[in-house]
């Protein structure tokens, strides 16, 4: 409080003082988020190895057992250990979500950088094509891919990745449009640098920050979309454990008291989506600290 009073008493100090405190709180929050994400990734990668039970092993003598010491998350209608399926589902959902975002962001980076830098008629044609993709939500694309190549994790990941390309391309394009008229780009052209070199050395590295923020937020939407396809039976096929498919398998047992079959996968999905959203918001705040003060 005394520091705040001192800052107020001196003109021109309170603004920087508040911004410094705000940014320090942001850095602390970022550390907490990174620790939580690291723990989640370790759980997804090492959890199945540490727990040791198979997520596919059927034990008819253990059907629909409630959570206990031997089965902390209970068992499902086939006697399969829900904790083992939860850990394997976390790993698969994380891998599919990150894979969809990585593919979509990479294609969006190339497309957005190209059309933003070249401009003219190519920009118009490609932008209209991207708008056409936006007309089809990820779930609709997932249904189309499911009918075309069969339901499964691959079709769901391809559908979600393709649906995300326009968003990443637009972010990159807007950044490139503001960069291509900068003085350092003009200087590179004057020195005889070719278009490919300018894109590789200057333009693409400059847009990676905004693309990273968009991709961090995109993991949440990708995981939700893949889980939604799994819930509809168009994603990962049973008995492979995936959060959306697991929620579907247990929904018929919610009214009869076996809540753990669906609730635990739902909690895992909520954790993954929440951490991804928190990371994206924290990255955006760190890259635009002054924007936080205007909220």
Q: How far apart are the first and last CA of the chain?
A: 23
Q: What confidence score (pLDDT) does residue 4 get?
A: 41
How far is 195 from 212, CA to CA, in rounded Å?
Answer: 24
**Residue 165: closest CA among 228, 121, 216, 101:** 101
List pLDDT tens digits, range 27-79. Answer: 677 888 889 999 999 999 999 999 999 999 999 999 999 999 999 999 999 99
Average pLDDT over residues 184-207: 73
Cβ burial 248-268 (10 Å sphere, 16+ → b, else e)? bbbeebeeeebbbbbbbbbeb
Q: Is the pLDDT of residue 292 over 60?
A: no
Q: How confident is the model at residue 13 (pLDDT cuts 50, 70, 90)?
A: very low
pTM of the model as a whole: 0.81
Find out whether 93 and 40 touch, Cβ atoms under 8 Å.
no
φ, ψ for residue 63 (rounded to 5)? -65, 130
Compute the 3-state secondary structure of the chain and give helix, strand, coil in percent, each to the nearest 5: 80, 0, 20
Q: Within 180-203, where are the H helices?
A: 183-190, 195-198
| Cα of 53 vs its chain's centroid, Å | 28
Q: How confident is the model at residue 286 (pLDDT cuts 50, 70, 90)?
A: confident
The number of beta carbons lying within 10 Å of the beta carbon of residue 92 is 21
Average pLDDT over residues 222-233: 87
List pLDDT tens digits, range 126-176. Answer: 888 888 888 877 778 777 777 777 778 888 888 888 888 988 998 888 888
List pLDDT tens digits, range 236-248. Answer: 888 899 999 899 9
How far is 74 from 71, CA to CA, in rounded Å?
Answer: 5
List pLDDT tens digits, range 71-117. Answer: 999 999 999 999 999 999 999 999 999 999 999 999 999 898 888 87
CATH architecture, domain defined by 13-60+70-293? Orthogonal Bundle (1.10)
CA distances, 147 to each of 151, 152, 155 (Å): 7, 10, 9
Residue predicted with more confidence, 201 or 19: 201
Q: What confidence score (pLDDT) does residue 82 get?
A: 96
Q: What confidence score (pLDDT) does residue 260 get?
A: 95
Beta-carbon contacts of residue 158 (< 8 Å; ≥ 6 apart): 100, 103, 145
150 Rama sector, left if φ>0, alpha if ψ -120 to 50, beta otherwise: left
């Amino acid at each position: 409080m005394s520091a705040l009073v001192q800052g107020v008493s001196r003109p021109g100090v309170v603004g920087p003082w508040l911004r410094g405190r705000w940014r320090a709180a942001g850095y602390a929050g970022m550390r907490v988020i990174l620790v939580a994400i690291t723990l989640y990734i370790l759980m997804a990668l090492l959890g199945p190895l540490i727990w040791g039970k198979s997520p596919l092993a059927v034990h008819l003598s253990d059907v629909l057992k409630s959570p206990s010491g031997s089965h902390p998350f209970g068992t499902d209608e086939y006697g399969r250990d829900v904790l083992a399926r939860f850990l394997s589902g976390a790993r698969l959902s994380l891998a599919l979500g990150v894979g969809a975002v990585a593919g979509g962001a990479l294609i969006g980076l190339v497309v957005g950088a190209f059309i933003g830098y070249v401009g003219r008629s190519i920009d118009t044609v490609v932008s209209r094509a991207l708008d056409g993709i936006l007309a089809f939500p990820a779930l609709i694309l997932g249904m189309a891919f499911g009918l075309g190549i069969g339901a499964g994790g691959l079709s769901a990941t391809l559908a979600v990745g393709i649906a995300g390309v326009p968003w990443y391309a637009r972010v990159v394009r807007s950044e490139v449009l503001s960069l291509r008229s900068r003085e350092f780009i003009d200087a590179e052209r004057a020195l005889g640098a070719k278009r490919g070199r300018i894109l590789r050395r200057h333009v693409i590295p400059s847009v990676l920050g905004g693309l990273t923020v968009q991709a961090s937020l995109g993991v949440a939407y990708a995981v939700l979309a893949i889980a939604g396809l799994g819930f509809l039976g168009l994603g990962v096929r049973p008995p492979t454990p995936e959060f959306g498919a697991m929620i579907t398998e247990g929904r018929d047992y919610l009214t009869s008291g076996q809540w753990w079959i669906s609730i635990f996968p739902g909690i895992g999905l909520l954790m993954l989506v929440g951490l991804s959203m928190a990371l994206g918001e924290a990255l955006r705040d760190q890259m635009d600290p002054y924007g936080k003060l205007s909220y």
